[in-house]
Structure 1
Amino acid sequence: MEKSPAPEKSSSFARNDCKEIEDVEASPDSPAVDTSPDALQGPASEENEAVEESNAEEPDLTLPQVWDEIDVFLGRNSDSPCDDDESKTDSDPVEIPRAVELLSKNVESMIDKYAMDAGKSKFGHDPEEDSCFFGSVSRLSKLADKIGDLKPSDENANVLCSSSLNRTSSVLQRAMSFLEEELRAILDEDSKTGSDDSDPKSAKARQSSSFNNYGHDSDRCILPDPEPASTEEEFPCFMSETISIMSKIADTMISAGYETECRVLWMIMRRKAFKSELSKGGLDVLSIDDVQRMQWDSLEREISTWIAAVKRCCTILLPGEGALSESVFLGQPEIGQVLFGDLARSVSIRLLDFAEAVVLTNRSAEKLFKFLDMYETLQDLIAAVDGAKRYSDDPRKEEVRAEMVVVKGRIGEAAVSIFCQLESSIKSDSGRVPVPSGAVHPLTRYTMNYLEYACEYKDTLEQVFQQHHERAIVETSDSEPMYNMDSPSAKTSPFSVQLMTVMDLLDANLEMKSKLYKDQSLRYIFLMNNGRYIVQKIKGSSKIHQLMGDTWCRRRSSDLRQYHKNYQRETWYRLLQFLNHEGLQVKGKVSKPVLKERFKCFNSMFDDIHKTQSTWVVNDEQLQSELRVSISAVVTPAYRSFLGRFNQFLDPGRQSEKYIKYQPEDIESLIDELFDGNPTSMGRRRT
């Protein structure tokens, strides 16, 4: 690049490109710069006009020459130019090179030029110019320190040093303000770019879509696969060139003594960016009162949003922020680590505050699963903190982790308390109205479905009960828990013991409710319906089955068989009494009146049974089929045998039709209509 021609009688100088600057700095054959007092410093005169005229007559210096002259000046011992050296006299001037003023003017000129740029980003358009600017500002900050350390020996030298220091400090402060505003603009511009909801291709729209999909497509808290984040989920959204510019700004500000300003600005803007990212997914700042006043449906949605936010922080936001801090503060890794630690702690506290507010809400059974989701989410967050290498040496890591553990423990205690309330729910269900038709009781459905879903969190529940089992024991009933004798692991599991206790209470409650039925047969249908429902639920869930064990299932199956036998005895064995051969013969002959009475009583009782029990309900198809088959196996052969043997003793025709109402096939068909829950008209015998 050719040097720009310098205007005549001007103290400004031409800017060479950065390649020329680097060549001058690196080459030992660079043209020597006259650093004699006459060349670097005009004569000390009280007449300002004379000084200005003298300086104006000196030839302009190129930027490489200015830098070289400044570097030579900076390399001198701080005390040598202006100390009380015996070889100097009091009249010797302080050697402040003319390049100091030229450098200040150069920095001001470049700031003015950047300010004229209509673009929002000042840097990045001309890398060579940017390199010159940062190099000049870096030397300017060193000059301020250098001149401030000088010890002039006379009044004139003191005035000169003070003037140079004031000038340098003023320009340096302006440069720092410019860099601070540019860093703010870069960080703010990225935040604004990512918040454009109207553009589906914008970073926020992409991230918000992914963010919402985590929390609202499923009830369970399922972490995403640990794959590298796609470009649609990158955070923060800075190009490598922008990161490089921010790194140069940070290095320059910190080197110039503006570390505090740089750190404060960084924290303000990154917190703002994080708040924006979390708000994209719908996570609002809610007070404890806000959470307390929420209806459960609304709070449940907030919890889902919170879970998604925590997971996104674990997998995308915090790792991305850590990488950004590491890249921008590459030259000051300790500062980058501290800033990342402060931000991570700030975000974590905000997330934990919501969790603590949720724990303080009224506890009810339906909240258990969201509480367990939150518990698992915090567990994953703690694991992410433990695995964060760039955060490993920060003492605040243990502080944040300890707070996470405390909140997780409170959620675990709440989950244990909620689960134990299931006992109270079963005990308090003392309704005196029997379920129509002997169907499965709502309490049975609710309890078993609740347990089935709860056991999807089996490992988590075992963990929280293990940690808080003493509280669980205090809050549970006084009844003796039933241990799972065929599962060694279950013996030592407080959750398994609690599960057994709940099942015992449910059995006792159902037994009590079965006594509300006046019809003993219906009582056993009720017990079979509920018992079968419980067994099928347990066998259908491997996790509940594992906790309850085979012994418990075998015992329950045995109870069901006994209920079945009792039902047969109360209903069909009484019917079979009318098909008994005993008592039909009088003096060695079949008594027609007795035979007619037997058929009449059988028909009447069978009609009553069919009319009543066709309205009863057995929802389990297998149990329904088993009952029908067993009834038919008992009744149909006995009736066929009785009919075949004694049909001949009735007069054919009208008398036979009057007393023989059903054929064996009719009996089978009518038995197949039982337990449908629908009354049916009685069929006539087949012809």
Structure 2
Amino acid sequence: METKQSPLPKKSNSFSSSSREEKLREFDRNLSLGAIKFEDRQEKKERDDNKEDSIEEEKEDQEEEKGEEKATEEEEASKENVEESEPNFIAISDEIDRFLGVLASLQDVQDQGYEPPELPESTIEKFVDLLEKEIDTYESGERKWSPDHDDTSLLDAFNRVHKLASALTQFSSEPRYNHAMNRTGGVLHHAMAFLEDEFFSLLDENSRGKQQDPGSASSKTKRPPSFSRPQQQHEQVDRFVLPSAESSTNEEYPQTYPPDIVERLRSIAAVMISAGYVTECCEVFSVARRNAFFASLSTLGCEKISIDDVQRMAWDSLEGEIVTWIKAFRHSITVSFPSERELLDIVFSGHQDIADSLFNNLALGAISQLLNFAEAVAMTKLSTEKLFKMLDIYETLRDLTPTIDAIFSIDGNEESSPTSPVMDLKSEISAIRSRLGEAAVATFCDLESSIKTDTGKTPMPGGAVHPLTRYVMNYVKYACEYKNTLEQVFKNYQKTERPSSYDDDRDDEPPGSTSNNDNQSNDSIADDPKPFAAQLMVVMELLHSNLEAKSKLYKDQALCNIFLMNNGGYVMKKIKGAAEIKELLDDAWCWKRSSELRQYHKNYQRETWSKVLACLKDEGLNVRGNVSKPVLKERFKSFNAMIDEIYKTQSSWVVSDEQLQSELRVSISAVVVPAYRSFLGRFSQYLDPGRQTEKYIKFGADDLENCIDELFDGNPFSSMARRRT
């Protein structure tokens, strides 16, 4: 007898327990309908166990399939709900607009005695609920507030809830309006808090650009980002990076942010201002932009330094800080603030008073902080090496003052007030310029004291150029590069009375100084049309007097003249090589110094070579018409000794200027060598050939010329004899 196989239960889409029980009963009935086969108990048990396992597997399959179907149904329902919510929100918004229209037409209902219109409480409740859910969705991060399509609709909704809250306040005396007023007011506040957060995130994240790595943790704001941005966002050039010439453009939007970001900022600001949240909007903007500005200064290397730190800072370090400050200050005035002005005019278009106030607060505060550094430098202890950096700061403030005036010229009313912040800033800049100008004048005038106090009693070896001469002339050369600025500061800030350093006891002055002339020059500087040029003449005269005093330290008059030639030649070479100095010095003074140089030259030749030439004269050699050999031999011996002594001494003397050195050698050779050659030609025949000639004629004319060509090298030889061997 064949056994009839029982059919498997069918899958059901139902989730009910009764359906499951019916399936199980049907399964049991199917088992009982089959043909009976006699089996032993063990086989039957195994078959029953297998059937039970099959039933359990079927149950699991049914539950899994039902779960998937349920998830699909929920997803489809969610999509339907989303699709239905949009038209519902639009429809509700239209109803709100109609209600607002009714309220607008009845603005004076209470004065006219009309009853307030019926309040659509359910519509208002639905509207604020939907709007609040929308805000919560963005705040939770479930969705991004996309600039592509969400901006307009959401901002319109914020405007609508603001208008609704404002309109309902007309009926604050009506109890039935109280709940709607409280509800819309709360949602409005929530909406503005959301916009405030978004406004800050948009300003902060987009302002940093290249200041930080966008992927680093430090580059994220404390407020959660809610805007989706283009991939190119972090590639935007930050406005505080020094722009190249090619990067300057005349685009409609400022370079601070991309155009789409600027437009979104403008839209958000308009909604917040319209809703009465001006303070919150301005505070967020001020904080974000102030942070961005000072971060940009940091990228330029300009950090905030206190006045005490500046006072304690070593000059080498402070000098570098001044260079950085000048770069940052110029960039702020010429690039950053105009860009900030442009940004404010767009973001707060239609609200010029707000834009002006925000700009003034940012710019005035930033400039004032930058000026603290300049003021601190002006307060440092005066020293001659600080002059040029002080003048750099002075010129920066002077040159940028018209630009600063133009930046704040928009606020005409405030500028006209003598107590306005703008006028305070201008006064502060003027005061700092005055301090810097006075410090510059005092510093340059202190050069007089440096010259007067250099009274060393040790002469320069070899008659070389004195360090004081090099220092003063190099200092004057650099100072004359600022001649226009120095003329300006001397005219504006020079004190009529002399500094204390000029009242020192005249007994300490070096010998040969022209005290009376100095006093007369000093008294006339203040009245001179070119006071800096007059002061420069005082310095040059003091240097000349000091060098003359130092020349008297030499016992050898020839070396004294070499010293004066070296130093005077160095001074004149610097003057001729710097047109700025030559323009300021009197022509008569320069001509006089050149004449003195020629006189030093003549004096040297007279002191050194006149005795040598005296040995080569014919006078005294002839006795009764014949040449006296003893006298001739004595002449040659004297000549040889003098040349040997001159060579041994003056080869160690120094004439560092090649032109002056060459002129000296040529002038000596032109006089001495021909005279010696002539003397040899005329009298060498009177000496016996052989040992006598070698004894008295130690070198020929060419040897003498070579000897002269080795003078003033600073490399001494013990004697001409050793030189010849």
- Say whether the fold is shared (TM-score over 0.5): yes
Q: 1:167-206 alignment to 2 at 5 Å?
A: 167-196=183-212
Instruction: Report the structure number with the largest CA radius of gyration.
Output: 2
Superposed displacement of residue 75, structure 1: 2.1
CA distance in 1, matches of 2:234, 2:456: 57
139, 143, 148: which one pairs with 1:126?
148
Question: Given residue 167 of structure 2, which amino acid in structure 1 is its aligned partner?
Answer: K
CA distance in 1, matches of 2:178, 2:637: 131
CA distance in 2, matches of 1:160, 1:539: 97
% identical aligned pairs: 48
User: Corresponding residue for 1:150?
Assistant: 171
SS at match of 1:643: helix
SS at match of 1:179: helix
SS at match of 1:616: coil
Provide closer, same or farther for how the CA distance between residues 613 and 61 of structure 1 changes in structure 2, counting only shifts above 3 A.
Answer: closer
Superposed displacement of residue 686, structure 1: 9.4
Provide closer, same or farther for how the CA distance between residues 501 and 63 of structure 1 changes in structure 2, counting only shifts above 3 A.
Answer: farther
Provide closer, same or farther for how the CA distance between residues 205 and 99 of structure 1 changes in structure 2, counting only shifts above 3 A.
Answer: closer
Q: 1:151-550 alignment to 2 at 5 Å?
A: 152=173, 158-196=174-212, 229=248, 237-388=256-407, 391=410, 393=412, 395=415, 396-470=421-495, 473-474=498-499, 477=502, 480=517, 492-550=529-587
CA distance in 1, matches of 2:533, 2:194: 66
Which string of whole-angstrom CA distances, capped at 9 and with x for unpartnered residues, describes residues 318-371 of structure 1? 122111111111121221111011100011011001111111111111111111
User: Corresponding residue for 2:62?
Assistant: none
Question: Given residue 203 of structure 2, which amino acid in structure 1 is its aligned partner?
Answer: L
Question: Are 1:582 and 2:619 an aligned pair?
Answer: yes
Superposed displacement of residue 77, structure 1: 3.2
Provide closer, same or farther for how the CA distance between residues 97 and 481 of structure 1 changes in structure 2, counting only shifts above 3 A.
Answer: farther
Q: 1:82-101 alignment to 2 at 5 Å?
A: 82=110, 85=113, 95=119, 99-101=123-125
Question: Given residue 670 of structure 2, which amino acid in structure 1 is its aligned partner?
Answer: A
Contact 2:162 2:275 in 1 (8 A): yes
SS at match of 2:712: coil
Provide closer, same or farther for how the CA distance between residues 458 and 290 of structure 1 changes in structure 2, counting only shifts above 3 A.
Answer: same
Structure 1: stretches of 5+ with no match in the other structure: 17-58, 153-157, 212-223, 485-489
Question: Are 1:631 and 2:707 an aligned pair?
Answer: no
Contact 2:256 2:340 in 1 (8 A): no
Contact 1:420 1:476 in 2 (8 A): no
Which string of whole-angstrom CA distances, capped at 9 and with x for unpartnered residues, describes residues 190-249 of structure 1? 2454432699999899779965xxxxxxxxxxxx99886479xx9864211111111111
Contact 1:195 1:204 in 2 (8 A): no
User: Corresponding residue for 1:26?
Assistant: none
Provide closer, same or farther for how the CA distance between residues 149 and 68 of structure 1 changes in structure 2, counting only shifts above 3 A.
Answer: closer
Provide closer, same or farther for how the CA distance between residues 482 and 676 of structure 1 changes in structure 2, counting only shifts above 3 A.
Answer: farther
Provide closer, same or farther for how the CA distance between residues 555 and 104 of structure 1 changes in structure 2, counting only shifts above 3 A.
Answer: same
Which string of whole-angstrom CA distances, capped at 9 and with x for unpartnered residues, describes residues 111-163 of structure 1? 123224457xx544333x211111121122222222212264xxxxx222221
Which string of whole-angstrom CA distances, capped at 9 and with x for unpartnered residues, describes residues 511-548 of structure 1? 01111111110000000000010001011111111111
User: Corresponding residue for 2:654?
Assistant: 617
SS at match of 1:615: coil
Q: 1:661-680 alignment to 2 at 5 Å?
A: 661-680=698-717
CA distance in 2, matches of 1:199, 1:414: 49
Question: Are 1:682 and 2:715 an aligned pair?
Answer: no
CA distance in 1, matches of 2:106, 2:629: 141
Question: Given residue 104 of structure 1, which amino acid in structure 2 is its aligned partner?
Answer: V
User: Corresponding residue for 2:138?
Assistant: 114
Please tell me the root mean square deviation across aligned C-alpha atoms, in Å. 3.4
Decide which moves more: 625-634 or 202-211. Answer: 202-211
Which string of whole-angstrom CA distances, capped at 9 and with x for unpartnered residues, describes residues 400-446 of structure 1? 22211211221111111111111111111111111111110000001
CA distance in 2, matches of 1:665, 1:205: 78
Superposed displacement of residue 68, structure 1: 3.1
SS at match of 1:619: coil
Contact 1:666 1:684 in 2 (8 A): no
Which string of whole-angstrom CA distances, capped at 9 and with x for unpartnered residues, describes residues 148-197 of structure 1? 12264xxxxx2222212111111110011101111111122124544326
Superposed displacement of residue 94, structure 1: 5.2
Question: Given residue 710 of structure 2, which amino acid in structure 1 is its aligned partner?
Answer: E
CA distance in 2, matches of 1:499, 1:136: 75
User: Corresponding residue for 2:697?
Assistant: 660
Provide closer, same or farther for how the CA distance between residues 118 and 317 of structure 1 changes in structure 2, counting only shifts above 3 A.
Answer: farther
Contact 1:434 1:517 in 2 (8 A): yes
Which string of whole-angstrom CA distances, capped at 9 and with x for unpartnered residues, describes residues 231-285 of structure 1? 9xx9864211111111111111111111111111211111111111111122222
Contact 1:15 1:63 in 2 (8 A): no
Which string of whole-angstrom CA distances, capped at 9 and with x for unpartnered residues, describes residues 521-578 of structure 1? 0000000000010001011111111111433222211110010011111111121111
Question: Are 1:140 and 2:138 an aligned pair?
Answer: no
Question: Given residue 69 of structure 1, which amino acid in structure 2 is its aligned partner?
Answer: R
CA distance in 2, matches of 1:503, 1:197: 57
Question: Given residue 172 of structure 1, which amino acid in structure 2 is its aligned partner?
Answer: L
Contact 2:256 2:339 in 1 (8 A): no
Provide closer, same or farther for how the CA distance between residues 676 and 686 of structure 1 changes in structure 2, counting only shifts above 3 A.
Answer: closer
Provide closer, same or farther for how the CA distance between residues 70 and 494 of structure 1 changes in structure 2, counting only shifts above 3 A.
Answer: farther
Provide closer, same or farther for how the CA distance between residues 235 and 62 of structure 1 changes in structure 2, counting only shifts above 3 A.
Answer: closer
Structure 2: stretches of 5+ with no match in the other structure: 1-75, 217-231, 416-420, 504-514, 522-526
Superposed displacement of residue 475, structure 1: 5.9
SS at match of 2:720: coil
Question: Given residue 644 of structure 1, which amino acid in structure 2 is its aligned partner?
Answer: G
Contact 2:206 2:233 in 1 (8 A): no
Question: Given residue 459 of structure 2, which amino acid in structure 1 is its aligned partner?
Answer: P
Question: Given residue 354 of structure 1, which amino acid in structure 2 is its aligned partner?
Answer: F
User: Corresponding residue for 2:127?
Assistant: 103
CA distance in 1, matches of 2:340, 2:410: 12
Q: TM-score, normalised by structure 1?
A: 0.82
CA distance in 2, matches of 1:643, 1:353: 80
Superposed displacement of residue 76, structure 1: 1.9
Contact 2:651 2:711 in 1 (8 A): yes
CA distance in 1, matches of 2:723, 2:404: 79
CA distance in 2, matches of 1:168, 1:198: 38
